[in-house]
Amino acid sequence: MLPSRVATVSLHTSPLDQPGTGDAGGLNVYVVEVARRMAERGVAVDVFTRATSPDLPPVVELAPGVSVRHLAAGPYGHLDKNTLAEYLCPFIFGMLRAEAREEPGRYDLVHGHYWLSGKAGVAAARRWNVPMVQTMHTMARVKNAALAEGDLPEPDARVRGEDQLVHQADRLIANTDDEARQLKEHYAARDHQISVIPPGVDLDVFTPGPRRAALERIGLAPDTELLLFVGRVQRLKAPDVLVRAAARLLERDPSLRSRLVVGVVGGLSGGGMSEPRMLADLARSLGVADVIRMEPPQTRERLADYYRAATATVVPSHSESFGLVAVESQACGTPVVAARVGGLATAVGERSGVLVDGHDPADYAAVLHRLIAEPGRRDRLAEAAPEHAATLGWDRTVDDLLDVYRASITPYAAPAGLPLAAAR
């Protein structure tokens, strides 16, 4: 049975936010792309998110069949994700009030994204007597096992909340086989709960194109060697590894300085907001400030040009549930140099990128130098990149999600328990 309407929960970040800054990233892209394609298949989607301003309308149409519902929960403005847990109850009550204004049985299923959303989603799903599907995106125990130097561990409250959520959710969506393994090893998830469904990439926007023309469009010389980082600027994503690698690269080959550019496209996020000059100060201390180009988050169309212009996109994250940036880059015909962590082993093709063990800048410098010094090798990776990305389109993701939705709602009986137990 195909659901007629799904309640998607994205409490801590809105699908209307620009990915690449604050708490907006791959999760936002996931929610938007899936919701749009669900609606095109006849499944309406209401996305519940926290209102960050009193000026936001209660309901915004994101696309035909997709509505974003802003719920008041706690003070307006940006709140730390750990603080948001204090406002789960008002958010849940907002979801219940919104549903109560509609005809009975409005939602056939709830899909939560991230643990906070999942806690709210479980409470609503139990009250509405519908199944609860959860995508974690990141997990506290996994992140804490791979902390960057100077980064703070995820709090115990999140660990306990995820433990509860894994056992309360009817189905768990893992981005990769590796994430499925982590759910079982770290949270004792059961095999029958888990479905592995990789995220996708918009193959209509992220397409190959001439590199020289793309360099010109973003204001760089045609002989530029652009090493690109895309994403939120925080220690977890490790843009500092790329900056340090660039310093090693220039020590190894000083002749590159006149044409090397390290592009960092993204905004401050998480712990990075408390140290806004960390990356700039690091570049200055290493003597490479002149090759660093800091850019704010870009529109998808503009971002595609940055990918096309790059010699390589570098994804040195300490933890990554999937790595949409890596897939977007490959879809644009640009190879990826990434850390061999989490979902990046799936996101990066064997013939379209290079996976690096660990986070030693010297190792990244060696790989990047070879791509620059051996353009034929770089071109071979670039040629295979779109082919790998083509296997990860959003249509496949949505097809597989709909299969999980059908299986979840036919038939369905809610587990016993208090409807709002998940909020406590």
Q: Which residues are annotated as a binding site for Mg(2+)?
A: 307-308, 310, 334
Q: Which string of DSSP letters, residue by residue, matches 71-109?
A: E--SSSS---HHHHGGGHHHHHHHHHHHHHTS-TT--SE
Residue with tokens 């570098």: 314
Sheet order of strands, 59-63 included: 59-63, 66-71, 44-50, 5-9, 109-113, 132-135, 171-174, 194-196
H helices present in 220-341, as ranges: 239-252, 278-285, 300-309, 324-331
From the annotation, which residues make up the binding site? 12, 18-19, 23-28, 81, 114, 138, 158, 232, 237, 298, 307-308, 310, 320, 328, 334
Closest residue by Cα to residue 229 from 329, 150, 319, 155: 329
From the annotation, which residues make up the binding site for 1D-myo-inositol 3-phosphate? 12, 23-28, 81, 114, 138, 158
Q: Which H or E run contains 40?
A: helix 26-40
From the annotation, which residues make up the binding site for UDP-N-acetyl-alpha-D-glucosamine? 18-19, 26, 232, 237, 298, 320, 328
Closest residue by Cα to residue 50 from 20, 83, 26, 2: 83
Provide the residue count of the chain: 424
Query: How many angstroms separate the CA atoms of 43 and 239, rounded?
Result: 39
